[in-house]
Chain A
């Protein structure tokens, strides 16, 4: 044995763990081997497809719930949306229901679609030729529409039509509260709106406001449909 080897051995042999330390570590080792040291080595779990599918389902459910939340009917919509919606409606080649000439039948049709029971067709529209009916959706709220010809000349078009839209006043806000028509123009269309008996009436035409003037003058005067009927006769 070389001197260096003996020297190294003497050095390390002089270093040793105290017997009580050895006993302690061996005791702890036995506890660890039997799993009594309180530390549990967790076996990694296999990926659960059920868990992944549940997570995907939860994400989809939350997405649908979010979409529903943002698109749900949250109450009255702004009256200012009505005019653009009407213009958009007629710009999209709508399907219209041919209307009977008897205005009582027109009213009955509108009522059958859910129009307010106290609906009255303005007296000035009664002598006009009925054109069509339809229900227009304005951001979830319904506007019950009937259309009338203001002229009977051949080759008449949309400019000769006037549209009456009837809605419940509660379904909108910002609408005119008075019974006196308020006129508004938008993109070549004219609108005259008023509220009577909690019903919002809107007359619309794809023409200047002058087209509506003779029709709303009777409303401004407060003439009843019956009176108009008498005048017509």
Chain B
């Protein structure tokens, strides 16, 4: 994978290889927002064509990301979709920084990410995939750094809770299956 600094500092170019990398990165970013493959494809394609039509080329990855984000927000407004923060979620205040080491999540990450809202998936993607700091994310999204840090912590905590709940339910299912097998064996031994 290409290093994030290469994207941020890339000079305007029309080279197909760079464009293709931009396009793939844009698609993944769109996927983090929509969590739907076809919608992400449409989103990145429309953004790419809009930028090409207007500027003739894609200047940099942040420009592409910002445009994708703006178009996604426009589409949500057009579809009258709104994402609400749950009041049950504990809010995290005054987070100094993101922990360097986060243990692995149990279960399939795709299904866990599907439970997050677009804003939460966006910060997860920008921080853990693209490697942006909270300061960079705050500049990109126009949110205060503290809000970004809080959102990151809350998103990871939510993922971890979903992951743990998923693990517990898996364990419960295993016990249930084991119990059913035992009952079946007992019945067959009586006969």
**B105 to A4, Cβ gap below 8 A?**
yes
Residues of B within 8 A of A15 (CB): 27-28, 31, 37
User: Quick check: is B45 within 8 A (CB to CB) of the other chain?
Assistant: yes
- Indicate whether B156 reaches chain A with its CB closer than 8 angstroms: yes
Instruction: Tell whether A28 pairs with B27 under 8 Å between CB atoms, given A3-B104, A9-B129, A33-B57.
Output: no
Interface membership of A153, Cβ < 8 A = no
B53 contacts A22, CB within 8 Å?
A: no
Q: Which residues in chain A, 1-16, are within 8 Å of chain B measured between CB atoms?
A: 2-13, 15-16
Docked-complex contact A25 and B23, CB < 8 angstroms: yes
CB contacts (< 8 Å) of A56 on chain B: these are none
Once the chains bind, are A32 and B105 in contact (CB under 8 Å)? no
Contact in complex: B103, A12 (CB < 8 Å):
no
- Whether B109 lies near A33 (C-beta < 8 A) is no
A192 to B104, CA, bound (A): 116
User: Whole-angstrom distance from the CB of B114 to the nearest CB of chain A?
Assistant: 12
CB contact under 8 A between A16 and B128, given known A3-B102, A25-B48: no
Contacts A3-B104, A8-B129, A16-B27; A21 near B48 (Cβ below 8 A): no
A187 in contact (CB, < 8 A) = no
Alpha-carbon distance between A35 and B101 when the two chains are bound, in angstroms? 49
Contacts of A4 in B (CB 8 A): 102-105, 128, 156
Instruction: Give the dominant DSSP class at B's interface.
Output: helix
Shortest CB distance B177–A (Å): 27
Docked-complex contact B102 and A2, CB < 8 angstroms: yes
Q: Judge if A26 is at the interface, Cβ distance under 8 Å.
A: yes
- In the bound complex, what is the Cα–Cα distance between A8 and B29 (angstroms)? 12
Q: Which residues of B are found within 8 Å of A98, using beta-carbon distances?
A: none
- Smallest distance from the beta carbon of B29 to chain A beta carbons, Å? 9
Q: Given the known A-B contacts A16-B24, A17-B27, A22-B20, are A37 and B53 also in contact in the complex, defined by CB atoms under 8 Å?
A: yes
Q: Could you list 17 A-B pairs, sorted by A, with CB under 8 Å?
A: A2-B103, A3-B104, A4-B102, A4-B104, A6-B104, A7-B105, A8-B124, A8-B128, A8-B129, A10-B109, A15-B28, A16-B27, A16-B28, A25-B23, A26-B20, A28-B48, A29-B58
Interface, chain A (partner B; CB < 8 A):
2-13, 15-17, 21-22, 25-26, 28-30, 32-33, 35, 37, 39, 41
